[in-house]
């Protein structure tokens, strides 16, 4: 029989990694909330049609990377898909729950697992976690953003057409499927051709132009550091106007920590009013890779405050009573359950990094006291048992 292991591209998060996860999750929540975003949670799977419509069929995600299934043979039961991204589900929920009617402008954030059927590599997993924000319903200047994109697409095609034979095989395919991707190519030959590609900002309509200029002006005035990348391309069809990424050099080929942009037409495309929106998502696993490479000190794992050791196993019930009492008073406490030697119990307490050890033996029972040892300083004190248990102090 074949050994059953964790599925390809997924991994267990073991107890020792949990503090880092908590740290990262807590941090994004705190920051998002500081910026006025509220958390929203949507299902892990959605009807497949949602992603087909939102992401667009030029994307590989829709073509071959979705976990799609149909449990029911009944006709009319629609196929569902494990969510490969979260913008579309959130827009869906925003509309379905009439959020724009309650308050047109909504600032929402999320944090959770996503699924894409891909070949794993550094920073790329089949199940991964993203935290992101969506600012939905900001007044849209632009109903004609697509026109700019179409115009630029035509310009690009016109420029690249004569060079087509010199482009790499991938790019020749891209020319038909998605010209913009050619700008992103890493083949030396293609890079050379791309160098002289017409700049996109010459092809913006007045509206987009104004939007772009305003954005740049705001960024400059707030002292925000950024770079303009005329070769930046993002995969989803729903993006309009501004797109952006944050990358980190430690991440290898998959170096985007964060990516996002405007999607001013998506709400309307999913059946809602014509309202603009912006959002971005942060890859949590990639963030953690970057944190590890930056040698950031890991948060301390939780540890028991008290470990109770017994001289003889016959005192175990007593020890059990003590840890139960302490736990009820909100103090983390633990003990040995396997009748180990005193030395071994202390070793265990040490390994757990327990702050204090209480020892119980004949002496303590007759005197009705507890021996309390501070495991950092090594000093031992004797306390009255009933006093300590009714009002523990260290």
Partner RNA sequence: GUGGGUGUAGCUCAAUUGGUUAGAGCACGAGACUGUGGAUCUCGUGGCUGCGGGUUCGAGCCCCGUCACUCACCCCA
Spatial separation of the C-alpha atoms in residues 19 and 14, rounded to whole Å = 10
Using CB under 7 A, pick the residue from 89, 137, 272, 283 that binds RNA. Answer: 283
Which of 103/343 has CB closer to RNA? 343
Q: Does 313 help bind RNA (rule: CB under 7 A)?
A: no
Using CB under 7 A, pick the residue from 60, 201, 207, 269 that binds RNA. Answer: 60
Using CB under 7 A, pick the residue from 331, 340, 352, 383 that binds RNA. Answer: 340
**Site track for RNA across 123-142, x = CB under 7 A:** xxx--x-x------------
Phi, psi values for residue 55, rounded to 5°: -80, -35
Termini Cα distance of the chain: 55
Q: Does 27 help bind RNA (rule: CB under 7 A)?
A: no
Spatial separation of the C-alpha atoms in residues 277 and 265, rounded to whole Å = 8
Using CB under 7 A, pick the residue from 156, 185, 267, 308 that binds RNA. Answer: 185
Q: Within positions 193 to 222, which residues make up the interface with RNA, using CB under 7 A?
A: none
Phi, psi values for residue 319, rounded to 5°: -60, -40
From 233, 253, 236, 237, select the one nearest 245 (Cα to Cα). Answer: 233
Q: Does 122 help bind RNA (rule: CB under 7 A)?
A: yes
What the block records as the tokens of 159 is: 């420029």
Using CB under 7 A, pick the residue from 40, 311, 331, 352 that binds RNA. Answer: 311
Which of 276/283 has CB closer to RNA? 283
Residue 338 CB burial class (10 angstroms; 0-12, 13-18, ≥19): exposed
Task: Name the one range near RNA by CB under 7 A: 40-48, 152-160, 221-229, 342-350.
Answer: 342-350
- 3-state SS, residue 354: coil
Q: How far is the CB of 98 from RNA (least distance, A)?
A: 27
Q: How far is the CB of 388 from RNA (least distance, A)?
A: 15
Spatial separation of the C-alpha atoms in residues 115 and 196, rounded to whole Å = 37
Q: Does 254 help bind RNA (rule: CB under 7 A)?
A: yes
Interface size with RNA, residues (CB under 7 A):
71
Spatial separation of the C-alpha atoms in residues 290 and 304, rounded to whole Å = 30
């Amino acid at each position: 029989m074949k050994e059953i292991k964790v599925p390809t591209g997924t991994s267990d998060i073991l107890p020792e990694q949990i503090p880092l996860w908590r740290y990262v999750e807590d941090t994004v929540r705190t920051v998002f909330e500081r910026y006025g975003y509220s958390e929203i949670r949507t299902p892990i799977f959605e009807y497949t049609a949602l992603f087909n419509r939102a992401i667009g069929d030029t994307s590989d995600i829709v073509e071959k990377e979705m976990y799609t299934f149909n449990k029911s043979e009944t006709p009319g039961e629609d196929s569902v898909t494990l969510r490969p991204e979260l913008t579309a589900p959130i827009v869906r929920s925003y509309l379905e729950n009439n959020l724009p009617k309650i308050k047109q402008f909504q600032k929402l954030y999320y944090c959770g697992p996503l699924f894409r059927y891909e070949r794993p590599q550094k920073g790329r997993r089949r199940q991964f976690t993203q935290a992101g924000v969506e600012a939905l319903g900001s007044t849209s200047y632009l109903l004609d953003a697509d026109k700019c994109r179409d115009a630029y697409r035509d310009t690009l095609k016109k420029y690249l057409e004569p060079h087509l034979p010199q482009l790499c095989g991938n790019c020749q395919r891209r020319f038909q499927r998605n010209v913009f991707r050619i700008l992103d190519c890493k083949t030396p030959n293609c890079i050379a051709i791309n160098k002289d590609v017409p700049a996109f900002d010459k092809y913006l309509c007045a509206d987009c132009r104004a939007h772009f200029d305003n954005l740049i002006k705001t960024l400059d005035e707030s002292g925000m550091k950024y770079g303009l990348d005329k070769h930046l391309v993002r995969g989803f069809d729903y993006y309009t106007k501004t797109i952006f990424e944050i990358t980190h050099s430690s991440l290898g080929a998959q170096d985007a920590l964060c990516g996002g942009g405007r999607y001013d037409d998506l709400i309307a495309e999913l059946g809602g009013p014509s309202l603009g929106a912006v959002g971005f998502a942060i890859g949590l696993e990639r963030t953690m890779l970057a944190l590890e490479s930056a040698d950031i000190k890991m948060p301390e794992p939780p540890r028991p405050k008290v470990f109770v050791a017994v001289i003889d196993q016959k005192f175990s019930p007593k020890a059990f009573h003590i840890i139960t009492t302490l736990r009820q008073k909100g103090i983390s406490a633990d003990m040995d359950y396997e009748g180990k030697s005193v030395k071994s119990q202390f070793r265990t307490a040490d390994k757990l990094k327990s702050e204090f050890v209480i020892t119980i033996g004949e002496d303590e029972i007759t005197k009705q006291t507890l021996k309390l040892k501070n495991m950092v300083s090594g000093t031992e004190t004797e306390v009255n048992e009933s006093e300590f248990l009714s009002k523990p102090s260290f």
